[in-house]
Structure 1
């Protein structure tokens, strides 16, 4: 009888945790991406304007990313920044690949096999002058621009739109002109 009671309690607890996890997962609506990305226009150099804090960019100033199409259709990635401690340029080389060929807006990126992460393009300027990249769990967010600085009105409008997508603009770290001048450009 005692075993049956313990089994019943364990089942109820497991069901409760499963319901809680399901409710947490559904708290944010699905992350919307742009309809289509022309990868030939997307590749090139992007300057980081803002981002969510993350461990792999800790101590970085003036981050930028360079993307180049490979012959196999994947994308070579080189992320750079200036280390705030010693002033050296830090680089991370990786590879990205499209997982949603209909839109080219959902990619995976890996800097160290077998680890990989989502790279979803959730906004893109009509002339590819800026891009916003996020992850479906809302843990990561980047605002990128083709130029080292972004107009304040454009930035504010982007922050409002990412808020509607379930991101918290209060968590965003914005690059400043000072950090950009000291960055890895």
Structure 2
């Protein structure tokens, strides 16, 4: 019987490299989805309110959700996502960092809230005045409708839903976020 033994340090290094490689690959937009061009980060910075989202574990049972984007001294973007649990009323906050994947005039970034692991953040529809945006992740499980105000006119919502559906997102699964707290 032939057995070989891989040194533990080499196995750990190989595993870490594999995880990081997979993480790097997973940030691209879904096939057929093109992020906006002419993106201007300085106009995107500030507070955005979540109007709707597809369900995922890190925002489950949250309402009054907002995201605040600000420029860090190293040129990356600080992301602070906050919301209130619907069952307890407690505030939940996550602080992360976003970095451009390629050219800085393309609305395609990668965001991390958990160390070296990044997810895709792709702005696929954006108002000329930066009042609303449709953002998707690296696959069809992640989608958000964001706005500078806590509500959007139905005509804009309909436009964004049509765009999302054309890109292959199941909008029937959207969670419509309540914004009923005065302190958000």
| TM-score for both structures, normalised by structure 1 | 0.79
The 1-side partners of 2:146 and 2:82 are apart by 13
* Residue-pair matches, total: 155
Change over 3 Å in CA distance of 1:104–1:35 after alignment to 2: closer
Return the alpha-carbon distance in structure 1 between the equivalents of residues 139 and 48 of structure 2.
Answer: 23
Partner Cα separation in structure 2 for residue 183 and residue 158 of structure 1: 27
Alpha-carbon separation, structure 1, partners of 2:183 and 2:174: 20
Alignment RMSD: 1.5
Unaligned runs of 5+ in 1: 1-27
Structure with the bigger percentage of helix: 1
Q: TM-score, normalised by structure 2?
A: 0.80
Computing the radius of gyration over CA atoms, which structure comes out larger, 1 or 2?
Answer: 1
- Which residue of structure 2 aligns with residue 130 of structure 1? 132
Partner of 1:94: 96
Unaligned runs of 5+ in 2: 1-29
Alignment-derived partner of residue 114 in structure 1: 116
Structure 2: distance between partners of 1:130 and 1:63: 15
Deviation at residue 90 of structure 1 after TM alignment: 0.7
Moved over 4 A (4+): none
What is the aligned counterpart of 1:45 among 44, 47, 52? 47
